[in-house]
A and B are shown apart, each in its own frame.
Chain A
Amino acid sequence: MDENRGISDQAKLGGSKTPAKAVLQRVLREAGIGIALVVLIAVFSAFAPHFMDESNVTNILTQITINLIMATGMTFVILIGGIDLSVGSVMALCAMVAGLVLKSESVPVPVAIAAAGLASVIVGMICGFMNGFVSSFWNVPSFIVTLGMLNIARGGALEVTDARTLFEFPNMFNNFGTATLFGVPAIFLVALSLVLLGWFVLTRTVFGRLIYSIGNNEEAVRLSGHNTFTFKVAAFVISGLTVGIGAIIYMARLTIASPILGTGFELNAIAAVIIGGTSLNGGRGSLIGTFLGACLIGVLADGLILIGVGDFVRQMITGGVIILAVILDSYRARIADRAQ
């Protein structure tokens, strides 16, 4: 009996990883997406004409901005084990409300712009709050709740102006969409600062710690004496917040507000998060990964256009990459199980 125990103990020791190996594994895991991105950029630089031209790089950065902003909020939601399918529609609703505010001629232009931005963010946060509250309070899968919100918000966006598109916004507003700072699109810099802020919150604050912990083991966190409900709702509110910011920036870029804008954006945002290595089960992942994931999607789309791949095939390839990323994630999960 005792002999047997000794053997099993030894097996346990032999099975545990040495620190160096663990670090290497971790680097490979975290850096995998980064390596894939570098390889992709290298390949397109070699084969796609004008890929590295300044104008094309600017174009890529502009293209990924909106997705990056939405994916930042989406990361919070997926980290707690939820999903937010409503972001594209909510974005349209935010844009329509903001557009109406922006077009009010009774106030000076800077005031109208500020009010529009505020309105957009508030609408987004309200929708996020409703998603989070309903799914956490009644313990309903967020997949379903946000699917409902997807329809509510889209309907709302159409209802606000009776499906009319809003345009002729103040020049001061439209100019922001194309402004650059040191040659970098200003809107991309906004997205980048949001990512950095989100990264800071997730890794350096008590709030972020609890988001990760809840995603890993909600019951353990609850029994440790935390109010998990608040944090779950907060994750959805953050998603709504980023949608609101995304909406106003997208309007500035398009110079219009259309009730059908943002259709399908939720899928791009989710794809960026998943390709970035965040687990759909929650608790594992990072905003750095999401950033790289969004970049990868943007680079892939742009590069494929440049080498002459058609729209339809491009969509097929993007879909394949998403599936590939999830398969890799399941391998990761299996390896983690084995370590146990």
Chain B
Amino acid sequence: MEPILELHGIFKYFPGVTALESVDFALTPGEIHALVGQNGAGKSALIKILSGAYTADAGEMRFLGAPYRPRTPLDALEAGVRVVYQEFNQLPYLSVAENLLFERLPRRFGVMLDRATLRRRAIDLLKRVGLELDPAIRLEHLGIAQRQLVEIAKALSSTGRLLVLDEPTATLTPREVTRLFEIIRSVRASGVTVIYVSHHLQEIFELCDRVTVLRNGRRIESFALSETSAPELVRLMVGRPLEAATHAIEADAAETASPAPTKREPALRLDGLRARGSSYPVSFELNYGEILGLAGLVGSGRTELLRAIFGADRRHGGEMYQDGQRVAFADPLDAVRHRVCLLTENRKEEGLVLAMPLRVNVTLTDLAQVSRAGLLRVQTERATARHWVRELDVRSRSVEQTARELSGGNQQKLIIAKWLFRDALIIMLDEPTRGIDVGAKAEIYTLLRRLAKVGKALLVVSSELPELMVICDRILVLSRGRLVGEVHRNEFDEERILSLAYSEYLAAKPQAEDRSS
């Protein structure tokens, strides 16, 4: 049978990153096709190219036998491609009915809203996804699972030929998942082809016909699900063991990991700490001179944990000890006073004052050092900033340059500089190399190892497992908010860590447990 959708040699670049590299992909009409891969494997980029949200930088697509090149989401919609994203684009203050039919509101006399038809069609659509509610109520009053179903119903509102679902079950209860699968199967029966993106391998085996594995922006393999198994899929998503381009760091880490800790007490000890939105208490120790990694899938609660420690979000119970002393940082200011810092994943939004000079950014953490009686000493500040910019090799023309002009890697170094200026001892980093090109990544790795070597305690969150395996001494694995394992450097094994990261998702009906708490 001729494929309904064909992709040939699709490339997509972002500054410093190749999101998709020569991806070939074909869909048989009427199949439910699973798309799997680690975070950053290229699933989202691929979906967005199909939906017209991104344009491919190279390659060809054919849909229904004709060349397909959507430039906007509207193009894709008109061609018959419907996408349900993980993050919804909904209008919370409008009614459910209006949300459902927003793209083509029924009219009377060309200008008037046809309320009767709107309501009737909305009720029909809601019935198809098994939602029994008044379509006139405002969307904001719906829970997240109901909103997800509304989004799916919306995708069914027009006759599409291809339906793309991105992690549709992340917020659903088992009963709703069962219902959703029925809907998907009935949609297929009406001649629609489905692409199904999910972390839940169990669901994929239950629902899908074929699967495509993506890794690092490349298509690794496509085959029928009857020919494979969950362990094999995990192995394919992980790929071959990391190439040893980082032997130097390996040797260095082996050397620093072994010596006795410089201080007896751990730098930070968590005892049953619960972050916002997590139902599981987390306990671990972070030592001086080590880099501790936090691995897990997106949404597994890693960022929330860092923010809870830092006092940026509220904590729900649990205790923290710094150097053996009980601490409870009330807010970031409190944490910073205790020489704890957090480098967030949003470098530009939360790490830097982009429009201001490097000098200002470096000294922002401790202006007392460059002022006397509230008066700034700009000469001192300039000299200080120059020192740190040189120390961390931030490539720039001068410290008067604005932070905006630096590349991503150098911006990250600048943020590290500002915390070293403050003399932070415990450094937490969230996705420290996101959006940074490969060369600069290696520099950041070396820098982090250097910090560990001089006795800092580092806690690093990263979605790139190879990254954690290069820099960390130990890796903790979170799965659905639960700390499911700790792996030491000599036991690092990508497949094992990833299995742990998926473990709570593979477990039967984990949602029910979540909800009851």
Q: Cα distance A207–B438 when bound, in Å?
A: 40
- Complex interface: chain A residues within 8 A of B418 (CB): 224
A-contacting residues, B337-368, CB 8 Å:
337, 342, 344, 349-356, 360, 364-365, 367-368
Q: Which one of A206, A216, A227 contacts B356 once the chains associate, using CB atoms below 8 Å?
A: A216
| B371 part of interface (Cβ distance < 8 Å) | yes
Contact between chains at A225 and B335 (CB < 8 Å): yes
Residues of chain A in range 183-239 having any CB-CB distance to chain B below 8 Å: 204-210, 212-213, 216-217, 219-227
Chain B residues contacting A12 (CB-CB under 8 Å) are 407
- Is B356 a contact of A224 with CB atoms below 8 Å? no
Is A50's beta carbon under 8 Å from chain B? Answer: no
Q: Are A217 and B16 in contact (CB under 8 A)?
A: no
Contact of A339 with B367 in the complex, beta carbons under 8 Å: no
- A284 contacts the other chain (CB 8 A): yes
Looking at chain B, what size class is its interface with the partner chain? 35 or more
Complex Cα distance, B332 from A1, in Å, reads 40
Q: Is the CB of A205 within 8 A of B405?
A: no
- 8 Å CB contacts to B: which residues of A1-59? 1, 4-5, 8, 12, 16, 19
Smallest CB separation, A17 vs chain B (Å): 8
Partner of B405, one of A220, A227, A339: A339
**B332 engages A222 (CB within 8 Å):** yes
Q: Is the CB of A5 within 8 A of B437?
A: yes
CB neighbours (8 Å) of A210 from chain B are 367
Contact of B332 among A5, A206, A223, A283 (CB under 8 A): A223
Name which residue of chain B comes closest to A15, CB basis.
Answer: B405
- Centre residue among B21, B354, B418 by max chain A CB count within 10 A: B354
- Whether, in the assembled complex, A336 has its beta carbon less than 8 Å from a beta carbon of chain B, the answer is yes
In the assembled complex, the Cα of A216 lies from the Cα of B438 at a distance in Å of: 30
Q: Is A139 among interface residues, defined by CB-CB distance under 8 A? A: no
CB of B350 within 8 A of CB of A220, answer yes
Q: How far does the Cβ of B384 sit from chain A's closest Cβ, in whole Å?
A: 14
Assess the B349–A219 pair: CB atoms within 8 A. yes
Q: Are B404 and A340 in contact (CB under 8 A)?
A: yes
Please state if A225 and B16 are interface contacts (CB–CB under 8 Å).
Answer: no
**Chain B residues whose CB sits within 8 angstroms of the CB of A4 once the complex forms:** 13, 18
At the interface, is chain A mostly helix, strand, loop or mixed? Answer: helix
With a 10 A CB-CB cut-off, give which of A5, A217, A336 has the most chain B CB atoms.
A217
User: CB within 8 A of A339: which of B333, B352, B404?
Assistant: B404
- What residues on B are CB-neighbors of A204 within 8 Å? 375-376
- Taking the complex as formed, is B247 at the interface, i.e. its CB lies under 8 A from any CB of chain A? no
Contact B351 A223 (CB under 8 A): yes
Q: Closest chain A residue to B424 by CB distance?
A: A225
Cβ of B143 within 8 Å of any chain A Cβ, yes or no, is no
Nearest-neighbour CB distance to chain A for B137, whole angstroms, equals 27
- Tell me the bound Cα distance from A208 to B82 in angstroms: 51
Cα–Cα, bound, A210→B437 (Å): 32
Measured in the bound complex, the distance between the Cα atoms of B353 and A212 in whole Å is 10
CA distance A4 to B371 in the complex (A): 45
**B15 adjacent to chain A (CB < 8 Å):** yes
Q: Do B405 and A16 have beta carbons less than 8 Å apart?
A: yes
Given the complex, which residues of A lie within 8 Å of B350, measured CB to CB? 217, 219-220, 223
By a CB distance below 8 angstroms, the chain B residues around A217 are 349-350, 352-354
Minimal Cβ-Cβ distance residue in A for B17? A5
Cβ < 8 Å to A, chain B residues 275-321: 310, 312
Least CB separation from A17: chain B residue: B405
Q: State whether A220 touches B351 (Cβ < 8 A).
A: yes
CB neighbours of B332 from chain A (8 A): 222-225
- Tell whether B374 is near chain A: CB-to-CB under 8 Å: yes
Q: In the complex, what residue of chain B is closest to A336 when comparing beta carbons?
A: B355
CB distance from A285 to the nearest CB of B (A): 11
Cα separation A48 to B417 with both chains bound (whole Å) = 58
* Cα-based distance from A208 to B374 in the complex (angstroms): 10
Give complex CA distance A1, B218 in Å: 13
B81 part of interface (Cβ distance < 8 Å): no
Chain A neighbourhood of B360, CB < 8 A: 209, 213
B46 at the interface (CB under 8 A from A): no
Question: Are A340 and B333 CB-contacts (below 8 A) given A209-B360, A209-B367, A213-B364?
Answer: no
Bound form: Cα–Cα A219–B354 in Å: 12
Q: Given the complex of chains A and B, what is the CA–CA distance between A209 and B364 in angstroms?
A: 9
| CB-nearest residue of chain A to B344 | A223
B397 interfacial by beta-carbon distance below 8 Å: yes
Asked whether, in the complex, the Cβ of B353 is within 8 Å of the Cβ of A213, the reply is: yes
Report how far A19 CA is from B337 CA in the complex, Å.
38
B10 CB-CB contact with A under 8 Å: no
In the complex, A217→B354 CA distance in Å? Answer: 8
Q: Does B422 make an interface contact (CB < 8 A)?
A: yes
Q: A225 vs B352: C-alpha distance in the bound complex, in angstroms?
A: 13
User: How many angstroms between the C-alpha atoms of A201 and B368 in the bound complex?
Assistant: 16
Given contacts A16-B405, A209-B360, A217-B353, contact A223 B312 (CB under 8 A): yes
Asked if B355 and A216 make an inter-chain contact with CB atoms under 8 angstroms apart, the answer reads yes
B163 within 8 A of A: no
Question: CB < 8 Å: which of B21, B355, B376, B407 contacts A1?
Answer: B21
- Identify 17 new A-B residue pairs, CB closer than 8 A, beyond the known A206-B371, A220-B351, A225-B365: A1-B21, A206-B367, A207-B374, A213-B360, A216-B353, A216-B354, A217-B349, A219-B349, A220-B350, A221-B364, A222-B333, A223-B351, A224-B364, A225-B422, A227-B333, A336-B404, A340-B354
21 A-B contacts (beta carbon < 8 Å): A1-B21, A5-B437, A5-B439, A8-B16, A12-B407, A204-B375, A206-B371, A207-B374, A208-B376, A209-B376, A210-B367, A216-B356, A217-B354, A219-B349, A220-B350, A220-B353, A221-B364, A223-B351, A224-B332, A225-B335, A284-B355
Q: Interface on B for A, CB 8 Å cutoff?
A: 13, 15-16, 18, 21, 310, 312, 332-333, 335-337, 342, 344, 349-356, 360, 364-365, 367-368, 371, 374-376, 397-398, 404-405, 407, 418, 422, 437-439
Lowest 8 CB-CB distances: which A-B pairs, in order? A225-B336, A206-B367, A216-B353, A217-B353, A224-B364, A224-B365, A206-B371, A225-B333
